[in-house]
Amino acid sequence: MENINKTILIADDDIDYLFQMKMHIESFGFNVITAESQKEAEAIIQSVKPDLAIFDLMMESDDSGFILCYKLKRKYPDVPIILATAVTSETGYSFGVNTDNDKQWIKADLYLEKGIRKDQLHKEINKLLKI
């Protein structure tokens, strides 16, 4: 499979969510690196360039995901990022990454609600990796 050499970085402070995501994404044939915190993810991107990253929004701080997006894009502008969170529907904060205005401050390529179905996740990843 051609996915075999692609590496996906996942950062989430919910270790169960992280475990499940890793399991699913490995089943798609990708390599997975996990980070349980913003700090850990920052350390990883110092030495590793992933092919795609999936970040949780709220980790150590409420905007950990945004900060990670910003830092990863500054280092590797071409790496696509998915921002995943369960928070929107409850807080009423809504933000997309579809308008130019949003893109100016949210450096993510795709914004996903947590609890996405496995096959949909696979599709979105393939689309971003242009597979």
Partner 1 sequence: MSTLTILVVDDEEGIRSGVSRILSNFQVSYPFMDADLSFDVLEAATGEDAIEKIKTTKIDIILLDNKLPGIQGTDVLEFTSRNNPDILVLMITSYASLELALKATSHGAHDFIPKPFTPQELKSAIENVSKHIFLRGMTQKMKKEGKEVRFQFLSVLSHELKAPLNAIEGYLRIMKEREAGPEIAAYDQMIDRSMHRIKGMRNLIMDLLDLTKIRFEKKTDKFQVVKVSEIAQLAIEAINPYAIQKDVQIHLVDQSKIEINADPGDIEIIFNNLISNAVKYNKDGGKVEIILTIIDQKLNIIVKDTGIGLTQDEIDNLFEEFFRVKNEQTKHIMGSGLGLPIVKRVVDLYNGNIFIESELGKGSTFTVVLPM
CB 85, min distance to partner 1, A:
9
Secondary structure, 3-state, 15-74 = HHHHHHHHHHHHHCCCEEEEECCHHHHHHHHHHCCCCEEEEECCCCCCCHHHHHHHHHHH
> With binding defined as CB under 8 A, does residue 26 bind partner 1?
no
Among 15-23, 42-50, 70-78, 122-130, which window interacts with partner 1 (CB under 8 A)?
A: 15-23
Please say whether the beta carbons of 95 and 111 come within 8 A: yes
CB 114, min distance to partner 1, A:
6
The residue ranges that bind partner 1 (CB under 8 A) are 13-17, 19-20, 23, 27, 36-37, 59-60, 86-87, 90-92, 114-115, 118
